[in-house]
Amino acid sequence: MKILVPIKRVVDYNVKVRVKSDQTGVETANVKMSMNPFDEIAVEEAIRLQEAGTAEEIVIVSIGIKQCQETIRTALAMGADRGILVETEEEVQPLAVAKILKHLVEKESPQLVITGKQAIDDDNNQTGQLLAALLGWSQGTFASKLEFTDDRLKLTREVDGGLETVSLSLPSVVTTDLRLNEPRFVKLPNIMKAKKKQLDIIPMDSLGLDTTSRVKILKVEDPPQREAGIKVDSVEELIDKLKNEAKVI
């Protein structure tokens, strides 16, 4: 079985995000970038399936600028087999990403696509669902456990009321949640080996797809600062303030 894993280069989750002075977006110049944490979990799960003998090949895909090659190399150092970068300087929104991935899926013919449930920069949580719809494949979202039984995928997913277990036919699209696994630490020898693994670069314009943005960002600004809290001397005073000032009771 071949697994395709889409990943995204985002601002590192440890970095405090700053809004640009012109309010057109967030500052990315001289900022540490890394693989989206949910995508890192997806890569780890694909590698574990390969180590268990379920998968034979893992293909990593990323869409973006030239520097995304570094993110792909990180996934290759974790244990993936080869990478594909669809290179573009444009902002690519979820529907366009899904169209590009559909094109690559039809070319690579994987039986399973595993990706993070969302990216931590835009939090859209759309790409996996859109891809499954475009392909007409079964889908399992927010996966916290994966098992293969009798050529079917048994998936435990996190829902508001607890856990739900579903059985999916292959081919399928799976999106990962935080509790699926703990990504491995990448060792230096594997980083050196990853530099020799195959990484194909495809210009996005050569795909002939409509990647027009459907959403336009008008302005980005910091959230308002929270006001300092106050102490009250009695329950009666608390109730009075909740009733007459906050007007919540």
pLDDT for the residue numbered 110: 96
What is the model's pTM?
0.86
- For the chain, what is the mean pLDDT? 92
Give the residue carrying structure tokens 């190399």.
Answer: 73
Is the CB of residue 62 less than 8 Å from the CB of residue 68? yes
Asked if residue 248 has pLDDT above 80, the reply is yes
pLDDT at 35 over 80: yes
Between CA 62 and CA 196 the distance in angstroms is 18
Q: Is the pLDDT of residue 155 over 90?
A: yes
Q: Is 199 exposed, middle or buried (0-12, 13-18, 19+ CB in 10 A)?
A: middle
Supply the pLDDT for residue 214: 86
Give percent of the chain with pLDDT exceeding 70: 100
C-alpha 120/C-alpha 14 separation (Å) is 11
**What does the pLDDT read at residue 34?**
94
Q: Look at residue 130 in the predicted model and tell me its pLDDT.
A: 96
| Local structure of 73: helix, strand or coil | helix
Reported confidence tier of residue 144, pLDDT bands at 50, 70, 90: very high
Average pLDDT over residues 9-38: 90
Contact 202, 87 (CB under 8 A): yes
| pLDDT at 107 exceeding the cut of 80 | yes
Rounded Cα–Cα distance for residues 150 and 138 (Å): 16
- Where are the chain's structural domains? 2-244
**pLDDT for the residue numbered 142:** 94
Task: Give the end-to-end CA distance of the chain in Å, rounded to a whole number.
Answer: 58
Q: Please check whether residue 68 is in contact with residue 9, taking contact to mean a CB–CB distance below 8 angstroms.
A: yes
Q: Within 13 Å, how many C-alpha atoms sit on residue 190's CB side? A: 13
Predicted local confidence at residue 128, as pLDDT:
95
Q: Provide the CATH topology of domain 2-244.
A: Rossmann fold (3.40.50)
The SS3 assignment for 188 reads helix
Which of 87, 175, 80 is closest to 127 using CA atoms?
175
* pLDDT at residue 149, as a whole number: 83
pLDDT at 158 over 90: no
